[in-house]
Chains A and B, each alone.
Chain A
Amino acid sequence: MLQTLPLPTRLWFAWVCFFRVLFDGGFASAAWAARGAAPALPAAPAPPSPLPPTLASTVAPEPVRALQLLSLLQREGRLVDFLQQDITTFPDADVGAAARVVHDGCRKALRAHATIEPVRSEDEGARVVLNEGFAPDDVRLTGNVGGQPPYAGVLRHRGWRATRLDLPQLMAGHDAHVLAPAEVELP
């Protein structure tokens, strides 16, 4: 929003410009270019690219860390046992009992090894406004996606962000692909 300058300032500025246009070539050409143009705005941030420019920039996956996490959740909460079993034929009471084992153990393991916080602090269902420049990794637009920011919408899911992940160190030579060793009991 540009204000109209007061008359004394305009008189002074016209006087300065007269001499600078006459003697300062750079200023003269800039004034010439600005003569019919729209007032300049602060530079807008480059719109974030929806796709990485090339595949080369993707982060190399760390299968060992992922295997360690699975192993941890299996050890503390029997997650792999739970997911590997076919649960369709079991009554809900059995599923519920097993879910308690998995939930208690995995929750404890997750809390000990990671800090997980909501991405948005508002309640779900609240009206939120996204200004230009919001991080597309943080917020995904759904519904009638289109138009220009600011966007006004309803928060449907708060999102989750891991702010910390500490996994155990792996000793050299340990096979991380073994998520849980087989157990053989000697009589």
Chain B
Amino acid sequence: MTRYAVGIDLGTTHTTLAVAPLEGDPAPPEVLSIPQRVSQGQIEAQPLLPSFLYFAHASEGPQALPWDAERTFVVGEYARARGVDAPARVIASAKSWLSHPTVDRRAGILPLGAPEDIEKISPVETSWRYLEHLVEAFDARFGGGDASLTQQDVVITVPASFDASARELTVEAALAAGIEKLTLLEEPQAALYAWTLGMGDAWRRQIAPGDVVLVVDVGGGTTDFSVIAAVDKDGALDLVRVAVGDHILLGGDNMDLALAHLVRQKLEAEGKAVDRWQQVSLVHACRVAKERLLSDASLASAPIAIASRGSALLGATLRTELTRDEVTRNIVDGFFPSVAGDARPTTRARAGLTQLGLPYASDPAVTRHLAAFLARQSGALSRLEGISRRSAGEPGERAPRLLAPTAVLFNGGVMKADPLRHRLVETLDAWLAADGAPPVRVLEGADLDLAVARGACAYALVRRGKGLRIRGGTARAYYVGIEGAVPAVPGLDPPITALCVAPFGMEEGTEAALPPHELGVVVGEAVRFRFFGSSVRRDDKAGDALDEWKPGELEEQPPIEVTLPAVGRREGDVVPVRLRSRVTEVGTLLIEAEPLRPLHADERWRVELSVRAG
């Protein structure tokens, strides 16, 4: 029997879990304190489980937990701390690897550059280990059995920008951890659920039909934008997620690194050297100083002191300070510059030989990424019913260049800083004014660190009919690329037709119409197709075939692959199939190949979303 609604924020830098009972008096979600190793031999329960995994060396002995005396690896605070001392044995940012489009995410690749005695694990397994730790901690607290986390209604959040394969891999990790009743939820939606939860019924006075809420989520490692519109549906308020942004690897960690670099230069100019170990303390000290300066406008500077590694503190401690001017110049102006609405992020041409690494954003300006997102999604409301829009194309009025939000909801630790929120709102208002739109309102009152887990828990309750649900479906349309049969010309790619297999906005538990086009697959062989997604083409229906599209409208995804088993057919035969797509109740995209002449009713094969290196 299911007894609890559980929300899990499986974050890039931290993982949190919120739980609420399903029966009895309704209670607000409680954030679980998660027991974890905090140092060698010591265990402590903390609400945040740092998303780090440390492979202990044989000389360190077992890394026992209250529920497992023989464990050889560590998840959580001690793993993060060991990242300073023994970085080659620690996995960080597994979530960014899970959504990395050009590595095999089921292959043992982490930690990068690990010593020989470590059996490397895959990004999927790393996420599985984090979830496994949550299952064990939950069961230790609630007793297991039918109160085990594996038996509860669990909602795991993913960035709205996660593509179909990254979502599927998240589900794979959860299933491996034994979580059975699982649903995915986009993080910005979770933030909005948490906000409505925090406001009680008062939130309905703050959002009315016609409102367009921009969720700006800047976490430790990623920046994520979503737009959720409030519409009138038969006289009642309805919320629809209408647009999501691209996956941007840019966050608070970049800001702390930028400041640490600056402070390091100051120290080196004074003739003081900073070693690798002190560099980590320096980044941490810069974060603390930055938060102090951004939260207290009366401070002109914040001191920074970095201890040496040895036991002597005096005479070996580096001392400097971070000034308000430096924070304003590097963080407020560096990451949130006041730019015009037509500003776009600069892209750096990738070097021919790219190192294996994470595809970090090359432009640090959050405001430029936001301008690009709003411009790209300027037509996001065009097909939405029940919302009054400023009509485009009226005499004397040009179509708005940017999607115009009426309200902003912030999420993520970085956005706690008032000067950053203020700068973002000020910049956004200037763009809106240039388009003749009114300024935005800021939706206040969310706990930005724990909102996502709480909101996910609230969503688990909403799914049982307790509250208003945000609709929206898939944030992309998906296409299979079919190469045209033309004579090969050296240096020229064959023309590609994009066949829509899943339209934009497919809701959970629905199936797309079967497209009329046939594809031939060879029995007994793995056949790959190029695969594309679009976050802007809202009008294509399943079966539509595109011969051309505007630059940037379609983004290539890792290829998909279908293998027809030879059972009942001759190996090597070409079998005509059609592709049908479905969005599962969990929230993942499922594509199936249906033979035109099935051997038995309901004969279908699953088409794998490839997660292998291209």
Contact = CB atoms under 8 A, between A and B. Distances in A.
Interface of A: 68, 71, 75, 78, 81-82, 84-85, 87, 90, 93-98, 100-102, 104, 166-175, 181, 183
Given A78-B307, A171-B64, A101 B313 contact: yes
Contact of A84 (B38, B42, B311, B319): B311
A174 B40 contact: yes
Given A84-B311, A104-B305, A168 B39 contact: yes
A82 B305 CA distance: 14
Interface string B305-345: 11101011111011100000000000000000000000000
A95 B313 CA distance: 9
Contacts of A78: 307, 313
Nearest to A100: B305
Contacts of B306: 101
Contact of B313 (A82, A93, A166, A167): A82
A87 B314 contact: yes
Contacts of B40: 174, 181
Contact of A104 (B35, B66, B288): B288
B303 interface: yes
Given A98-B305, A169-B43, A174-B40, A85 B66 contact: no
A97 B42 contact: no
B39 A75 contact: yes
Contacts of A97: 305, 317-319
Given A95-B314, A104-B288, A168 B44 contact: yes
B303 A100 contact: yes
B555 interface: no
Contacts of B307: 78, 81, 98, 101
B41 interface: yes
A174 B42 contact: yes
The 9 closest A-B pairs by CB, nearest first: A174-B41, A97-B319, A168-B42, A168-B44, A100-B305, A98-B313, A97-B317, A169-B43, A90-B314
B85 interface: yes
Contact of A93 (B35, B41, B319): B319
A94 B42 contact: no
Interface in B34-56: 35, 38-44
Given A171-B64, A183-B85, A98 B314 contact: yes
Contacts of A166: 44
A90 B317 CA distance: 12
Given A81-B313, A90-B315, A98-B317, A68 B42 contact: yes
Contacts of B288: 104
A171 B44 CA distance: 11
Best-surrounded residue of B38, B41, B303, B311 (most CB of chain A within 10 A): B41
A98 B317 CA distance: 6
Given A100-B303, A100-B305, A104-B288, A94 B317 contact: yes
A167 B39 CA distance: 12
B41 A171 contact: yes
Contacts of A101: 305-307, 313, 317
Interface in B2-51: 35, 38-44
Interface string B281-318: 00000001000000000000001011101011111011
Interface in B247-281: none
Contacts of A68: 42
Interface string B52-79: 0000000000001010000000000000
A81 B66 CA distance: 31
Contacts of A104: 288, 305
Best-surrounded residue of B43, B85, B318 (most CB of chain A within 10 A): B43
Nearest to B312: A85
Contacts of B312: 81, 85
A142 to B, nearest CB: 35
A71 B38 CA distance: 12
Best-surrounded residue of A68, A85, A167, A171 (most CB of chain B within 10 A): A171
B49 to A, nearest CB: 15
Nearest to A172: B64
A82 to B, nearest CB: 5
A170 B41 contact: yes
Nearest to B317: A97
A102 B39 contact: no
Contact of A94 (B35, B85, B303, B315): B315
